Amino acid sequence: MDLPLWALYGVGTAAILVGFMVFHRWLQGLTGRRAHQPEAVLGAAVVAFLVGSGTIAVAIAIDNEALQVENRRIFTYDLSLHTNATGPYRLYLPSPEDRRLFPALDERNGTSTLRVNTTGPRPLIEVFAIGNVSFAIRYEFIGLPFNTSLSRTTPGASPSSVIATLELSDPAPGATSAAVDLDIVFSEFCRVTHLTLIADVDERVGAYPGLLTVGPC
């Protein structure tokens, strides 16, 4: 059975204290306050110091690894668009509100781009595209828990449903539509927040149902 971290720290600290006590006795032998201490006593002190410091070093390494695992965050934004547009078009989508993710949400695929638009009161994802396009964004970092709020979304009728506001615009004449497949995932220690949205979007502002789930890893 693996020792808990507090036990490793305790063993290491106790071994170092024993090393200090044995070393102190050896120094007293050198100064004549005690009977001369053989070099074996010094060797025992050195061994105690090494065992103690080594045990604490192992505990620190395990502790750091655990902190890395607990504070590891992974964010993904996967978008696929299929459209009948014959020219450039713009699509506005929900955006995470965690500002640490904004730099990752600046992507290009050929002549098409995806970025965070922050000019309004809340951020939104702005896609400028020509034809069918997809974006697969993955960002990983060590830090504080996510802010999993998403702009342009409101709760639906059930706990796992959500209503997303999407907007498609095309300056070219004629009706334009786009099939949108969007997956947004916040993954962190023992918790995953996942928005799935599949919608046929018309050339206007519209509300579309999606699925928002929060569960264990």
pLDDT per residue over 10-26, tens digit each?
A: 554 655 554 455 444 54
User: Residues 37-46: what's their mean pLDDT?
Assistant: 53
| Domain end call among 21, 52, 70 | 70
Residues 95 and 17 in one domain: no
Same-domain check for residues 110 and 197: yes
* Residue 32 lies in domain: 5-70
Residues 51, 125, single domain; the answer is no
The pLDDT assigned to 153 comes to 96
> Is the same domain home to 50 and 83?
no
Question: In the chain, what's the furthest Cα-to-Cα distance?
Answer: 103
Cα 188 to Cα 53, 101, 136: the distances in Å are 33, 14, 19
Domain end (from 31, 46, 70): 70
Question: Is 88 in the same domain as 182?
Answer: yes
Residue in 190, 184, 215, 168 with CA at minimum distance from that of residue 71: 190
User: 119 and 211 in one domain?
Assistant: yes
Show the tokens assigned to 157.
């009728």
In total, how many domains does the chain have?
2
- Tell whether 93 and 186 lie within a shared domain: yes
Whole-angstrom Cα distance, residue 122 to residue 111?
26
Same domain membership, residue 164 and residue 114: yes
- Of 70, 99, 116, the last residue of a domain is 70
Q: Are residues 19 and 79 both part of a single domain?
A: no
Distance between CA atoms of residues 96 and 153, nearest Å: 10
Would you state the pLDDT for residue 178?
A: 96
| Lowest mean pLDDT segment, chosen from 12-16, 91-95, 146-150 | 12-16
CA-closest candidate to residue 102, choices 128, 137, 133: 137
Measured CA to CA, the distance from residue 99 to residue 187 in angstroms comes to 16
Residues 45 and 82 in one domain: no
Residue 66's identity, in one-letter code, is A
Q: Give the mean pLDDT of 85-111.
A: 96
Q: How many CA atoms lie within 13 A of 100 on its CB side?
A: 15
38 with 125, same domain: the answer is no
Residue of 135 and 156 predicted with greater confidence: 135
Domain identity same for 79 and 13:
no
Among 52-61, 90-99, 133-142, 155-164, which stretch is predicted with the lowest mean pLDDT? Answer: 52-61
Distance of alpha carbon 217 from alpha carbon 211, whole angstroms: 17
* Helix or strand run (H / E) with residue 211: strand 205-215
